[in-house]
Amino acid sequence: MPTPAAPPGPCAVAPVVDVTVPVYNEEHVLRSSIERLHAYLSSALPWAWRITIADNASTDSTRQVAHALGAELPAVRVVELDRKGRGRALRAAWTATDAEVVAYMDVDLSTGLEALAPMVAAIRSGHSELAIGSRLAPGAAVARGPRREFISRTYNRILRAIFLTRFRDAQCGFKAVRADVAQALLPLVEDEAWFFDTELLLLAEHNGLRILEVPVDWVDDPDSRVHVVATARDDLRGVLRVFASFLRGHGRADLGSAARAGLTDDMGRQLVTFLKVGVLSTLASLAIYLLARTVWGAGVSAAVAFGSVAAANSWANRRYTFGHHARADRRVQFARLTVTFLLGISVSVAAAVLADGSRTREALTLVAVWVPLAAVRFALLRAWVFRRRGVPSTVQRTRWSGGSGAGG
């Protein structure tokens, strides 16, 4: 159960929500934005809160304005950093907080503030560990130029293609995280700049945490100084780095009491994911087979087609269908996967050789064989290759069953 909250309103000690606003050379807008945010939180947020202005090495009078606001307004504090980087600012502010929930928003307040309350409520109720504002979720109302819209959608589609992410908008500057979860994930986040958001979300999903996506109203700031193309390039480098890290078995957080217990039976989701992976694998194998058949015989072409896709298929099923991310039991699992591979390639070669004739006949025969073979393979993967050894001690993509973390 959530811990009892202090009375609603600004609170200098142990707030429920700590809202960080990272700033760099924002003297022209800082006062109006913080006053607007302060007024909104005072009137609309039903929990005790604090505003943290995280100044990361401003060279204008931003820091002086921030301290003036801290002296004038209740529950406004200032965190000072000597180096730039939005991620660095958030890390410093979130690490030095005593709140249950940490959140942040961009200083331009482009995102409608009314999305904050449902995000925090979902985290405190135990529904989610993270909540993000989304400009790409159904119901969002967004006003921005075509270039930024195209780059944003393309970038998020790349994330979904590579990581099969469930969230739609990694970059919206409006997020909230359960504080104990943030403390567990932050040591794994390497980026200190704009990719910080994406890396945090990828690590959260990699560890089986639930992310709530709230559609927001968002108006592009015409005075934004974000270099979109350069930022997108750096983000893509970060994507490749995180993907390589996950491939090596890294990225697992010690969640402790923040972890959720695993389901004892997740067959429905496993079967649907297995079918998705299987359909893509079948289409790729057929294309490779027909291409190889112009050079080699039916048997060799079937072996090449099945073997070319098998590694990617096994990796996807291990990670996404059965939720295994860590190194534990990997050697045993790969050895058993080799057995299922040999079974599959043997059946495929035999079927192609027997059907040797027209390309259409061979292709239909292979599909007719691969369908029951997939059923056998799913049974082997579930009951033998990836069989659980009791209740896992780490998160697996399941319901939260409680715990003694800060979110209760």
Q: What is the CATH number of the domain that holds 160?
A: 3.90.550.10
- Longest Cα–Cα distance of the chain, Å, equals 85
If asked whether residues 215 and 320 sit together in one domain, one would say no
DSSP 208: T
196 domain residue, yes or no: yes
Q: 333 and 252, same structural domain?
A: no
Say if residue 173 is in the same domain as residue 250. yes
Percentage of the chain beyond pLDDT 90 is 71
Taking the C-alpha atoms of residue 344 and residue 374, their distance in angstroms, rounded to an integer, is: 9
Please, which pLDDT band fits residue 390 given cuts at 50, 70 and 90?
Answer: very low
In a domain, 400, yes or no: no
Are residue 164 and residue 287 in the same domain, yes or no? no
Instruction: Tell me which amino acid residue 265 is.
Output: D
Q: What's the pTM?
A: 0.72
**Lowest-confidence region among 23-32, 131-140, 213-222, 337-346:** 213-222
Q: Of the candidates 164, 166, 239, which has an alpha carbon nearest to the alpha carbon of residue 197?
A: 239
Neighbours of 394 (CB within 10 A): 18
Q: How far apart are CA 19 and CA 44, in angstroms?
A: 14
Is 396 part of a structural domain of the chain?
A: no
What digits encode the pLDDT tens for the residues 297-325? 999 999 999 999 999 999 899 988 988 87
In a domain, 398, yes or no: no
DSSP 8-class letter at 241? H
My answer on whether 222 and 313 are in the same domain is no
The pLDDT of residue 9:
66
Tell which of 210, 227, 258 closes a domain: 258
One domain for residues 79 and 181: yes
Check whether residue 203 and residue 75 sit in a common domain: yes
Instruction: Please give the Cα distance from 318 to 323 (Å, whole number).
Output: 6
- Tell me the residue range of the domain where 347 lies: 267-385
Judge if 114 and 236 occupy the same domain.
yes
Q: Which of 132, 228, 131, 240 is nearest to 190 (CA)?
A: 240
Residue 287: inside a domain, yes or no?
yes
CA dist., res. 228 & res. 370, Å (int):
46
Dihedral over Cα of 115, 187, 200, 267: its sign: negative
CA-CA distance, 383 to 162, in Å (whole number)?
Answer: 28
Please state the domain count of the chain: 2
pLDDT of residue 408: 32
Average pLDDT of span 243-254: 87
Angstrom distances, CA of residue 266 to CA of 165, 322, 357, 359, 374: 19, 9, 42, 39, 18
Does one domain contain both 237 and 170? yes
> Among the three residues 228, 258, 288, which one is the final residue of a domain in this structure?
258
Q: Please give the Cα distance from 298 to 290 (Å, whole number).
A: 10
**pLDDT for residue 336 is more than 80:** yes
Mean pLDDT within 148-173 = 91
Same domain, 35 and 55: yes
Give me the mean pLDDT over the 123-128 stretch: 94
What's the confidence (pLDDT) of residue 394? 39
Q: What is the pLDDT of residues 17-37, one digit of tens each?
A: 999 999 999 999 999 999 999
Looking at the structure, tell me whether residues 180 and 304 fall in a common domain: no
pLDDT digits (tens, 9 = 90+) for 263-303: 556 788 899 999 999 999 999 999 999 999 999 999 999 99
What pLDDT score was predicted for residue 222? 63
- pLDDT recorded at residue 402: 31
Instruction: Answer whether residue 28 is part of any domain.
Output: yes
Q: State pLDDT tens for residues 95-121.
A: 999 999 999 999 999 999 999 999 999
Alpha-carbon distance values, 263 to 169, 268, 269, 321, 390 (Å): 28, 12, 11, 14, 10
Residue 191 lies in a domain: yes
Do 76 and 206 belong to one domain?
Answer: yes
At which of 202, 234, 258 does a domain end? 258
- 403 in a structural domain: no
